[in-house]
Amino acid sequence: MKNFKSFARMMAITIAGMTMTACSLNGNEPEAPILIIDPVENAPLYACGISQSGTRSISDAQDILFTEGDIEWFNVTTREIKFHELDEPLYKRMQPFHEIEFHLGDDALFVVSSFVGDWDSRIFTNLVLHYDVITDPNQGHYYLQDCYPLQFTDTDEVKANREKNAEQWELFIHYLDNKGKLKK
């Protein structure tokens, strides 16, 4: 909530400053260029857990699984999301939740249908956060994948879900790129 108040104050100061600048110009002064601030740059990115019953509380700190500060980088090609060292392993934070909702400021970007591990035998045809411990047993890796297991990537249902999330996915990539957290 503190970030939202800081963001609101910053926007109010920016608008007031632009208004004061516009009012102080007279005909003899050259007009200063108007700076357009990309709202994506200043909105916080975070993910919160959604319980089995569908309840979520983004104001409740315990439901916030991670924020942009926890993300070290995101690889666009492999879709690996690398997290900084956390107090508690992320896979343990995820256990009580059914789904994960990614937010950019007040707006929901997309919902990850599940958190899955290599041991999961279920099939998911929507976006998942996959915890891979088989590839590197000494250190788990997290991936945002369109489905699980990946052999179902070319099904019609997965393709439709990928198209449904395309705009939000681009916004997610744009945001991480602006924050310097994109690995290409």
Could you report the per-residue pLDDT of 59-85, keeping only the tens digit for each? 444 588 999 999 999 999 999 999 998
In this prediction, the residues of the chain whose per-residue pLDDT falls under 70 are 1-41, 53-62
Backbone angles phi, psi at 44, to 5 degrees: -75, 145
Partner residues linked to 162 by β-bridges: none
Residue range 114-134, pLDDT digits in tens: 888 888 889 999 999 999 988
Give the Cβ contact number of residue 113 at 10 Å: 18
The pTM assigned to this predicted structure is 0.72
